[in-house]
Amino acid sequence: NKEGKKNTNRKTQKENYTMATLGKSTYKRYPMAGRIFAELVGTFMLVFAVTMNSRELSSKTTNVYAAFSIAIALWLALVWGGPISGGHYNPAVTLTQLLVGGIDLAGAIVYVVTQFAGGFLAASVSYGILGSSLAPVEANSDYSTSVAWTCEFICTSILTFTVNIISDPNFNRDGEFMFKVAAVAATVFFGATTVGPISGGAFNPAVGTCGNVMGFVAQDDHSILNSLGIYLTAPFVGACFAAFLYLFVFKPNLEIKQEETQSMDKVTADYDAKEQLLHN
């Protein structure tokens, strides 16, 4: 029995080593229940950070501290949840990953439902804490809807394209996990500090929708819902555009030549050789 467990552990270690060496994500190896939990909690953390900072974000000038707080929340969620679920926390990210083959349709549907559930839970908790002082996630009325929509589209495109690039197996190298996590968080910080005062800085249908609807509940102002259409369309269109750029423009240039690609057998052999050296 002990020998069986030892062989199972060795097999798992070998598989993990192989996947890491080939630069492939291991999150698909986790049970769906664990992935759902990671997406639920990660999205909760992100939306909670946004809605708790809603008063500062609703001002017409950039609040760097609020933007930094949100970026840190995303960074933390990605650090622990990324290896489990892939760290989407954003229906737009899930859509772009679906289009580039990073997740299957069934998994994408489950992810999106989970993300909206986590978002509404976080927004509800923020409402319970802040009450009527909860400010909505909404576009600045000083700008036209088309301007706010364009801002959301541009920054979501940048965010989802960044995710596509750093998820590419040919981009993966040892020791780059923290760099990738920081890149995603930095993209959100960049968007929040540049166009946040114009569009509300959601770049995420779960953030925009949940923050907008709960803000309407807190403020009881129907005009708040005017921004809802922006958050339900612009991020998804941006995700599609990012997938197009990745698949037809950048991916061919990222692909490693076949003769330079490590085969599964070679990587496994390398693992065996290293393990044998350790035992000797």
**pLDDT, average across residues 220-244:** 95
Among the listed residues 201, 96, 212, 197, the one whose alpha carbon sits nearest the alpha carbon of residue 152:
201
- pLDDT digits 0-9 by tens, 76-125: 999 999 889 999 999 999 999 999 988 999 999 999 999 999 999 999 99
d(C-alpha 62, C-alpha 72), whole Å: 17
Which residue matches tokens 């998994």?
107
Which residue matches tokens 């541009």?
154
Query: What pLDDT is recorded for position 29?
Result: 72
d(C-alpha 224, C-alpha 221), whole Å: 6
User: How many angstroms from the chain centroid is the CA of residue 217?
Assistant: 27
- pTM score, whole prediction: 0.81
d(C-alpha 200, C-alpha 179), whole Å: 27
